[in-house]
């Protein structure tokens, strides 16, 4: 990997981005308890640096897809916060008109093609988006986000092969958070084989980095993205990271006993937000006062979006049958 320093302005943006996802999701966790957001919701807390570090490179028109755990990707790509919160509340003003919920976010105005909770399903869809751009003579980067478990699905391999074969401008980003629901990697793949090795078999550019270190994510993603934009073919990146809360829902889940003792604590000690804030402070890129301002601005933005979502109307009954077929 080339030695890549994150430029200070990008670093500040990334810190803001990580903090923003964190604060938004912490707010959703609190509000979820009111039982007014009634849809299965998968939190990204603990994994924010991957979404933010990758999306820091992306232009507005470049595309991304995601899966069930999509809040961080949606927000990092610039997805509309009001639309997302209204969607979680099932409101007509939601980004999917209330028909989707947390598992089906979309904001095409910023290149967020869509997120769905069938594991693996958006991988070929993202490849298809990239293919279309090539067919249209205007290659456009597509970044496809998914979890470790998606690499176990046949469709991942089939899609990666197609992307490699046609040298498509695709970057696949695997967030390896060690679990598929409650199942550890040890019951899902051979111990002596890393996930990234699957991509090596497909002969595409690949790499592995610390997903809790925003700079490491930014550096590796930058290399893959430049290659893909330059027509040098797809890439597969594996970022190791960790989910703090239950698989689905806002609560802690230590009582279930599927995480080895000390594991969560060890990962929390490497909190991507604290890690990055600390580093930027140390390098004099941000001050404590800057951070306080960031927090305040973000909180105000969230207050406004929550108020918007809560005040928004529900879809009316006649909306049940709309959107069945495109006009």
Partner 1 sequence: MSATASTRQLKFVQALNEALDLCMTKDPRVFIIGLGAPDPAAIFASTKGLVEKYGPTRVLDMPVAENAITGVALGAALRGMRPVMTHIRLEFAMLTIDQIVNQAAKWHYMFGGQASVPLVIRMVVGRGWGQGAQHSQSLQSWFAHVPGLKVVMPATPHDAKGLLISAIEDNNPVVFIEHRWLYGIHGPVPEGVYRVPLGQPNVLRQGRHVTVVATSYMTLEAVRAADELAQEGIELEIVDVRTLNPFDETLVLESVRKTGKLIVADTGWRSVGFAAEVVARVTERCFGDLKAPPVRLTLPDVPTPTTRALSNYYYPLVHDITAAARRLAGRPAKPAPEIKPEAFLDVPDPSFTGPF
Ligand X SMILES: Cc1ncc(C[n+]2csc(CCOP(=O)(O)OP(=O)(O)O)c2C)c(N)n1
Query: Which two structure tokens, joined as six digits, stand for 173?
Result: 């980003």
The contact set with ligand X (CB under 6 A) reads 68-69, 117-119, 146-150, 177, 179-181, 247
Among residues 120, 169, 207, 211, the one that binds partner 1 under rule CB under 8 A: 120
- Kindly identify the residues of this chain, within the stretch 214-273, that bind partner 1 according to CB under 8 A: 248-249, 256-258
Tell me how far, at minimum, the Cβ of 121 lies from partner 1, in Å.
9
Of ligand X, partner 1, none, which one sits near residue 115, judging by CB under 5 to 8 A according to partner kind? none
Query: Which two structure tokens, joined as six digits, stand for 87?
Result: 């969607």
How far is residue 60's CA from residue 167's CA, in Å, rounded to a whole number? Answer: 22
Residue 209: how many CB atoms within 10 A of its CB? 21
How far is residue 120's CA from residue 153's CA, in Å, rounded to a whole number? Answer: 7
How far is residue 224's CA from residue 202's CA, in Å, rounded to a whole number? Answer: 15
Tell me how far, at minimum, the Cβ of 235 lies from partner 1, in Å.
22
* Residue 304 CA to its chain's centroid (Å): 23
CB 135 within 8 A of CB 223: no
316, 314, 307: which is closest to 82 by C-alpha? 307
Total of chain residues touching partner 1, rule CB under 8 A: 46
Of ligand X, partner 1, none, which one sits near residue 166, judging by CB under 5 to 8 A according to partner kind? none
Tell me how far, at minimum, the Cβ of 41 lies from partner 1, in Å.
6
Tell me how far, at minimum, the Cβ of 187 lies from partner 1, in Å.
4
Q: Does 124 bind partner 1 (CB under 8 A)?
A: no
End-to-end Cα separation, the chain, in angstroms: 49
Taking residues 96 to 115 in sequence order and writing x for each that binds partner 1 by CB under 8 A, - otherwise, the string is x-xxxxxxx-----------
Backbone torsion region of residue 87, taken as left when φ is above 0, otherwise alpha when ψ lies between -120 and 50, otherwise beta: alpha
Q: Which stretch binds partner 1 (CB under 8 A): 47-55, 71-79, 148-156, 217-225?
A: 148-156
Q: Which is nearer to ligand X, 16 or 247 (CB)?
A: 247
* Residue 306 CA to its chain's centroid (Å): 21
Binding site for partner 1 (CB under 8 A): 35, 38-41, 90-91, 94, 96, 98-104, 116-120, 149-150, 152-154, 180-183, 187-189, 248-249, 256-258, 314-317, 319-321, 324
């Amino acid at each position: 990997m080339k030695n890549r320093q994150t430029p200070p302005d990008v670093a500040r943006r990334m810190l803001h981005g990580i903090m923003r996802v964190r604060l938004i999701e912490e707010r959703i966790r609190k509000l979820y308890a009111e039982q007014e957001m009634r849809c299965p919701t998968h939190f990204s807390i603990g994994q924010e640096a991957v979404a933010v570090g990758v999306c820091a490179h992306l232009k507005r028109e470049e595309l991304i897809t995601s899966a069930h755990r999509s809040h961080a990707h949606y927000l990092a790509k610039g997805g509309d916060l009001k639309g997302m919160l209204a969607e979680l509340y099932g409101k007509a003003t939601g980004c999917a008109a209330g028909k989707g919920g947390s598992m089906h976010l979309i904001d095409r105005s910023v290149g967020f093609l869509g997120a769905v909770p069938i594991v693996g399903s958006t991988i070929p869809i993202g490849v298809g988006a990239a293919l279309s751009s090539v067919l249209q003579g205007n290659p456009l980067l597509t970044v496809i986000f998914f979890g470790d478990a998606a690499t176990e699905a046949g469709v991942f391999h089939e899609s990666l092969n197609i992307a490699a074969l046609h040298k498509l401008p695709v970057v696949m980003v695997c967030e390896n958070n060690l679990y598929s629901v409650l199942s550890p990697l040890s019951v899902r793949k051979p111990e002596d084989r890393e996930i990234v090795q699957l991509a090596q078999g497909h002969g595409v550019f690949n790499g592995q980095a610390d997903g809790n270190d925003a700079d490491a994510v930014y550096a590796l993603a930058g290399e893959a993205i430049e290659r893909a934009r330059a027509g040098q073919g797809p890439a597969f990146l594996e970022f190791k990271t960790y989910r703090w809360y239950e698989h689905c829902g806002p609560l802690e889940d230590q009582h279930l006993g599927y995480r080895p003792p000390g594991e969560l604590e060890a990962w929390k000690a490497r909190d991507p937000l604290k890690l990055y804030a600390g580093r930027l402070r140390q390098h004099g890129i941000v001050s404590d006062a800057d951070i306080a301002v960031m927090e305040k601005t973000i909180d105000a933005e969230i207050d406004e979006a929550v108020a918007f979502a809560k005040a928004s109307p529900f879809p009316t009954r006649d909306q049940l049958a709309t959107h069945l077929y495109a006009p």
